[in-house]
Every structure is written in structure tokens, then in C-alpha cells.
């Protein structure tokens, strides 16, 4: 089995590579950042990738965001997210795209080497391996994220979720596109979707609506 490892902890990455090599697998690339991860997948077309959630430069959610992007570029690529953290928003989005060939394990809860290797084999074969703690955190009841929206803003967001663009929403609500634009701006603000997410805010808003 050909594997790409994405892990910024050098000791852990090298140890994992030795472990996988001794188990008869081939580690075709070991990387600690998003760009080389995506380049390695394009160049080597691995059978599975093992990805940490938090990578440089901010050590927040770069890894799982990269996993999501790679999964969209290469549908069905088996991924095992192996981390100390559960990143709820992107984990939900990753799972929403289909759980076949997908794993999410917490490093501190893997007690035996055999358990990790078995999980990797199952994910590579198209199975699903999700740590119960990950599931528990994803299912934690949270306040309704849409509670701050006005009825009109909910209506606009609902039409966004149906796939309508601003012109289509304006036509259905019999308002101007400028009014729709203002409603969408208010939705982004109330859902805490900042300007730095401008390329994805509409998708994130719709995912929030569907999740709620």
C-alpha cells in the first residue's frame, strides 16, 4: 500500500514511516505543510493519506482543510485524519462529502499499533473508521446558529441552500438584488463568517443552514 504522511511533528512522522515500512507498506511522501501534501497526492497518487489536523503556518485547521480540498480534487481518495484535535466545522463538512474511505482517529486514544494499522487498512479498502469521541464531539448539542437571523434572512439563506443566485433570490422574493446583497452580508456577519473566508462564505453559510 502506498501512503502519504502529512505530519509536522518530525519524530512522529519518521516513527510512523518506519512503522508502516516494517508492516510492508511504502511511504511515498512525508510532508509537514499543505502545499507539498497536495503536490504529493497529484504526483504519487497514493492509496491512502494520513493527515494531521493542525499544520503550519497557524496550526489551527490547515490539515483538515487540505484533506477536504484533496478529497474534492480526487473523489474517493482514502484519508485517515490522525490528530489530537477534533475540528468540528471541517470534520462535519468532510464527512458530509461521503464517509467511504474515511477515518478520523485521535492520537491519544489509539492504544495499540495493530489498532492503527487495522484502521488504515480498512480506510484504504473503502471503509469508515471514526473514533467514538470524534462522533460524540460532532453530535454535541450547540445553540441554534440561525437564532440571530431575521425571518427574511432565514428565507434568503434557505433559497441560497436551494442553489439560487442573488438574481434568482431577488426574483422569488420580489425585491432588488441590492436588498438581497444586504441580507446576505447580514447573514455572513451573524454567522461569524469573516471577510477572510470570502471565497467560501456562501458554502459555509449553506452548510450551517443544513446542519441546523
pLDDT values of the chain reduced to their tens digit, one per residue, 212 residues? 999 999 999 999 999 999 999 999 999 999 998 899 999 999 999 999 999 998 888 888 889 889 988 988 998 899 999 998 888 777 877 887 777 899 999 998 888 999 999 999 999 999 989 888 888 787 665 567 788 899 999 999 999 888 889 999 999 999 999 999 999 999 988 888 866 544 578 878 887 887 76
- In a domain, residue 89? The reply is yes
Note the pTM of the prediction, 2 decimals: 0.67
Q: Which of 111, 138, 165 is the last residue of a domain?
A: 138
> What is the extent of the structural domain holding 195?
151-211
- CATH number assigned to the domain comprising residue 8: 3.40.50.2300
- In a domain, residue 25? The reply is yes
202 and 122 assigned to the same domain? no
CA distance 169 to 159: 6
Q: Which of 110, 138, 166 is the last residue of a domain?
A: 138
Tell me, what's the pLDDT at 153? Answer: 93
- In a domain, residue 62? The reply is yes
Which grid cell sits at 70?
484533496
- In a domain, residue 143? The reply is no
- In a domain, residue 94? The reply is yes
For 129-169, give the DSSP string.
EE-HHHHHHHT-----TTTTS-HHHHHHHHHHHTT--HHHH
The total number of structural domains in the chain stands at 2
- In a domain, residue 201? The reply is yes
108 and 162 assigned to the same domain? no
- In a domain, residue 115? The reply is yes
User: DSSP secondary-structure letter at 175?
Assistant: S
Tell me, what's the pLDDT at 204? Answer: 80
Tell me, what's the pLDDT at 198? Answer: 45
Tell me, what's the pLDDT at 210? Answer: 75
Tell me, what's the pLDDT at 212? Answer: 63
Amino acid at each position: 500500500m502506498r501512503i502519504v504522511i502529512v505530519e509536522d511533528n518530525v519524530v512522529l512522522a519518521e516513527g510512523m514511516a518506519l512503522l508502516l515500512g516494517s508492516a510492508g507498506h511504502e511511504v511515498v511522501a512525508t510532508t509537514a505543510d499543505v502545499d507539498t501534501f497536495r503536490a504529493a497526492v497529484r504526483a504519487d497518487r497514493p492509496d491512502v493519506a494520513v493527515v494531521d489536523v493542525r499544520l503550519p503556518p497557524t496550526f489551527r485547521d490547515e490539515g483538515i482543510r487540505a484533506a477536504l480540498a484533496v478529497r474534492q480534487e480526487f473523489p474517493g481518495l482514502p484519508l485517515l485524519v490522525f490528530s489530537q484535535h477534533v475540528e468540528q466545522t471541517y470534520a462535519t463538512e468532510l464527512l458530509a462529502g461521503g464517509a467511504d474511505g474515511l477515518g478520523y482517529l485521535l492520537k491519544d486514544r489509539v492504544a495499540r499499533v495493530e489498532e492503527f494499522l487495522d484502521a488504515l487498512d480498512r480506510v484504504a479498502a473503502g471503509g469508515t473508521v471514526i473514533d467514538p469521541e470524534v462522533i460524540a464531539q460532532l453530535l454535541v448539542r450547540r445553540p441554534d446558529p440561525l437564532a440571530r437571523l431575521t425571518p427574511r434572512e432565514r428565507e434568503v439563506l434557505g433559497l441560497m441552500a436551494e442553489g439560487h443566485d442573488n438574481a434568482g433570490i431577488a426574483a422569488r422574493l420580489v425585491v432588488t438584488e441590492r436588498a438581497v446583497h444586504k441580507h446576505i452580508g447580514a447573514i455572513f456577519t451573524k454567522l461569524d463568517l469573516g471577510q477572510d473566508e470570502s471565497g467560501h462564505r456562501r458554502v459555509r453559510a449553506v452548510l450551517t443552514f443544513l446542519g441546523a
